Structures are given as C-alpha cells and as structure tokens.
Amino acid sequence: MNLILRVVLGLAGAGGLLVALTALADPLRVAELLAIRPEGSVGLGSLRGDLAGFFGVFGGFTLAAAVRNQRALLAAPLALMALALTGRLMTGLTLGFDPAHVQLMIVEAGGILLLAVGMRALNR
C-alpha cells in the first residue's frame, strides 16, 4: 500500500512541476485553465512568478516526499493546498459559488486528502 501511495504522490508532484514549467513558459495557458486574466506585463509577471512558485513548491516537495518516503516534506504542499482551498471558500461565501470554483475546490480537497494520507503513512 505504501508503494501505491508513493507512486500517486510522485505523479501528483510531477504534475505540479509540469504546471510550474508551463506557467514559466506559457503563463496564459495556465491562466486560462484557472480563469485568471492578467493585466499587462506586471500581471503576466505575477502569473509566471506566483503560479510557478506555488506549483513548483507543491510539485517539488510532493515528489521529494514520495521518492524519499519522508512525511515531513509534505507539510509545505499541504499548507499551500489548505490556503488555496480557504481562499476559494472565502470567495464562494462572499461572492457566491461558481461551478468552476467548485470544480477547483474538489481538486484541492482531493489534494489535501492525498497529502494528509501521505503525512500519516510515509516514514518520518
């Protein structure tokens, strides 16, 4: 079971790194997937920096945790996902829940669940 979990975590981490690289190379592509519209060069720079940073940290630490079998490495990605979900919940509660928000919230909740299971199951 531990091996299956590590493979799934590794795939999630590799996916995060792929999104980070895509954010660097083609930020408008990632922005479209996340329904973000940048304003000018500052907005485009923010997309590159913020999205590459978020997904790079998520992907790098999740992949490292899977490879090293170390639960402590999942703390940062878990915090990122929890904050992202909190932000979407706050937006939904104040402005109303859009179906696109709900879809992203389901992905984030699934990520939190996966990371929480990893925190319990991987070695220290």
Asked if residue 39 lies in contact with residue 104, where contact means CB atoms within 8 angstroms, the answer is: no
Q: What pTM was computed for the model?
A: 0.91
pLDDT in tens, 88-124: 999 999 999 888 889 899 999 999 999 999 999 999 7
Bridge-partner residues for 123, per DSSP?
A: 70
pLDDT in tens, 53-71: 999 999 999 999 999 999 9
- SS3 annotation, the chain: CHHHHHHHHHHHHHHHHHHHHHHHHCHHHHHHHCCCCCCHHHHHHHHHHHHHHHHHHHHHHHHHHHHHCEHHHHHHHHHHHHHHHHHHHHHHHHHCCCHHHHHHHHHHHHHHHHHHHHHHHCEC
Q: How far apart are the first and last CA of the chain?
A: 17
